[in-house]
Amino acid sequence: MTRDDTDLRPTTWALCDGKQGMVNQCLGLAEALGVTPSLRQLSIRQPWRSLPPQLWLAPLKSLAADSDPLTPPWPDLLIATGRQTVAPAMAIRRLSGGATFCVQLQNPGVSPARFDLVVAPRHDRLTGPNVIQTYGALGRVSPARLAEEAERFRAGIGDLPRPHVMVSLGGDNSVFRMTEAVIDRLAADLRQLVAETGAGLLLTPSRRTDTALGQRLRAALHDLPYLWHDGKGDNPYLGWLGLADAVVVTGDSVNMVSEACATGKPVFVVDLEGGNAKFARFHDALSRDGLTRPFRGRLENWTYSPLDDTAMVAKAVRDRLADRPA
């Protein structure tokens, strides 16, 4: 199958397990490739969803009633991410007779040789002839998209004072905890930043941000100039990234930190309680290479080359598709 950007584009599926961060990774790569994928959201029945992919004897029969279907004709290109997609992706590649070019994002937990291409962050330490290592997660942040979204939301921030500092909040996950102590320290640091710079704050909680902790932060900042996205209406996340002069982001999410670093703007990371060796390697690499600094209540300016992992991976996919036999 020989393809190029001006010829027939490959039919594409984006295979996800429902988590928005995973969806964004698949869609980000598809957008960088210039293709519009058919998004297939999987819902897996027990016992399969609790088993490692090697034990799924009939992966395509594991789908729950509310899952999107996986039936032929199989796509030319399959982009998949999430643990629940590993076994179905391998099955589609096999059933297509190898005609489907299968790209698995994130460490699949099985041999990379089971896919045409595996894209994994460096901190996973996964290697192989068909493995591409990235700093972090792929995403939908690009200069053109940031500029477009910034224009959409520019009027919404009104006369909020400059510099604009976006604060991107995560929350608890399997290794990190966002506690009252973390929120109180963040509030104190943000108050110091505003006192020294006169900044206006753009605060965006995520689905994992505890409601009570969000309210605690807002109460501590009540007299400062800020906007808070309450989840209603259009999501200003990308627009505020485009409008921000700097980004403060909690360190619990590889996706959020990667997206912040794709802007090329100063990125300050807020420590949460907990962590593990993988996250430490991720943050150490970004700090060492000059993309991030810890947030200590001060605004600093520096420059770096924005993370461009998505474009890099898209080029690798194009090249490998073009090299496939017709």
Domains and CATH numbers, the chain: 12-135+309-323 (3.40.50), 143-294 (3.40.50.2000)
Average pLDDT over every residue of 144-169: 96
With a cut of 70, say whether residue 106 has pLDDT above it.
Answer: yes
321: pLDDT confidence band, cut at 50, 70 and 90? very high
- Of residues 17 and 100, more confidence is placed in 100
pLDDT in tens, 187-229: 999 999 999 999 999 999 999 999 999 999 999 999 999 999 9
Among the listed ranges 17-26, 275-284, 315-324, which one has the minimum average pLDDT value? 17-26
- Of residues 233 and 102, more confidence is placed in 102
- Is residue 290 within 8 Å of residue 135, measured between CB atoms? no
With a cut of 80, say whether residue 3 has pLDDT above it.
Answer: no
With a cut of 90, say whether residue 2 has pLDDT above it.
Answer: no
pLDDT for the residue numbered 46: 93
pLDDT for the residue numbered 315: 96
326: pLDDT confidence band, cut at 50, 70 and 90? low
Query: Does the global pTM surpass 0.85?
Result: yes
Residue 48 burial by Cβ neighbours in a 10 Å radius (0-12, 13-18, 19+): buried
pLDDT in tens, 6-52: 445 799 999 998 788 889 999 999 999 999 999 999 999 999 999 99
With a cut of 90, say whether residue 325 has pLDDT above it.
Answer: no
3-state secondary structure the chain: CCCCCCCCCCCEEEEECCCHHHHHHHHHHHHHHCCCCEEEECCECCCHHHCCHHHCCCHHHCECCCCCCCCCCCCCEEEEECHHHHHHHHHHHHHCCCCCEEEEECCCCCCHHHCCEEEEEHHHCCCCCCEEEECCCCCCCCHHHHHHHHHHHCHHHCCCCCCEEEEEECCCCCCEECCHHHHHHHHHHHHHHHHHHCCEEEEEECCCCCHHHHHHHHHHCCCCCEEECCCCCCCCHHHHHHHCCEEEEECCCHHHHHHHHCCCCCEEEECCEECCHHHHHHHHHHHHCCCEEECCCCCCCCCCCCCCHHHHHHHHHHHHHHHCCC
pLDDT for the residue numbered 310: 95
pLDDT for the residue numbered 17: 86
pLDDT for the residue numbered 62: 93
Average pLDDT value for the chain: 94
Average pLDDT over every residue of 270-291: 96
Nearest to 214 by CA among 229, 232, 225: 229
- Is residue 248 within 8 Å of residue 238, measured between CB atoms? no
Average pLDDT over every residue of 237-247: 97
- Percentage, residues of the chain above pLDDT 70: 97
5: pLDDT confidence band, cut at 50, 70 and 90? very low
- Of residues 20 and 272, more confidence is placed in 272
241: pLDDT confidence band, cut at 50, 70 and 90? very high
pLDDT for the residue numbered 324: 84
Average pLDDT over every residue of 317-324: 91
